[in-house]
Amino acid sequence: MAELTGQVAVVTGAARGIGAAIARRLAAMGATVAITARDEARLNEVAREIESSGGKAETAAFDLLDPAAITRFAESIQKRYGRCDILVNNAGVGFIGSPLHQMPPKDWDTVLNTNLRGPYLMIRAFAPIMIEGSKQGRAGHIVNISSLAGHNPLKNGAAYAASKWGLNGLTYSVAEELREYGIRVSAVAPGSVNTGFNVARGSSDKRLQPDDIASVVAMLVTQAPQSFVSEVLMRPTMKP
């Protein structure tokens, strides 16, 4: 039996890039994956691909900026499966490329609302399901996909850096709130990854690949119950 058989994993931003790689990996490990993003057609493609490899996937297309949609999604997972074992808060946007004093407030709001408020709303919706599961002896795991930009300055990416520094603070704090239920909350902080996120810089095999992040998420969610990894920092071996 695969390691995650019987578990339900929710992955945000799984229409492409890192999220799609994480969803494929968790499904290959036996989890039923519920994948979300706004682009329904791309989500369906990822789900079809997972199913054609023998995995189980379902899709939910909604905008993370819409709290009511998140609540409806969590209710549907609770109704359908009565559990959520893994939540990967992966969806994120960059708006990297100009100094903060030139950034319009609407772009600031999009970055902070997607990268920081989105994970908050997802945790608000899904932690109660995990807490309920912990009463039945199950352990939940929340993995927030942060960035090295959450540890370092990022010239011309101050809003993005602020969102990821914030996400790290949220991760460590919520971990303290949920550990009493046996729920682990971890962050993964990659450097440059080869996805459409970096489209302006072209593709490069010197960058981390989406599968590298998926491998770390797989490692985190299969730790022995007494072992909890707070954060993994990742860098490409070669300087891109």
CA–CA dist 180, 47 (Å, integer): 34
Those residues with Cβ within 8 angstroms of residue 186's Cβ, 6 or more apart along the chain or in another chain: 141, 142, 143, 144, 171, 175, 220, 228, 229, 230, 231, 232
Check residue 103 and give left, alpha or beta (phi > 0: left; psi -120 to 50: alpha).
beta
What mask of x and - would describe binding to ligand NAP in positions 208 to 237, judged by CB under 6 A?
------------------------------
Shortest Å, Cβ 36 to ligand NAP: 6
Instruction: Give DSSP secondary structure letters for 82-133.
Output: S---EEEE-------SS-GGG--HHHHHHHHIIIIIHHHHHHHHHHHHHHHH
**Does 139 engage in binding with ligand NAP (CB under 6 A)?**
no
* Residue 69 DSSP label: H
* Interaction of residue 192 with ligand NAP, rule CB under 6 A: yes
CB of 135: closest distance to ligand NAP in angstroms? 30
* Candidate residues 187, 193, 217, 221; the one interacting with ligand NAP per rule CB under 6 A: 193
Q: What residues numbered 105-124 form the site for ligand NAP, per CB under 6 A?
A: 114
Select the residue interacting with ligand NAP from 8, 13, 143, 183 (CB under 6 A). 13
Answer yes or no: 160 catalytic: yes
Q: Which of 4, 8, 17, 187 binds ligand NAP (CB under 6 A)?
A: 17
Instruction: By CB under 6 A, name the binding residues for ligand NAP.
Output: 13-19, 37-39, 63-65, 90-93, 114, 145, 147, 190, 192-193, 195-198
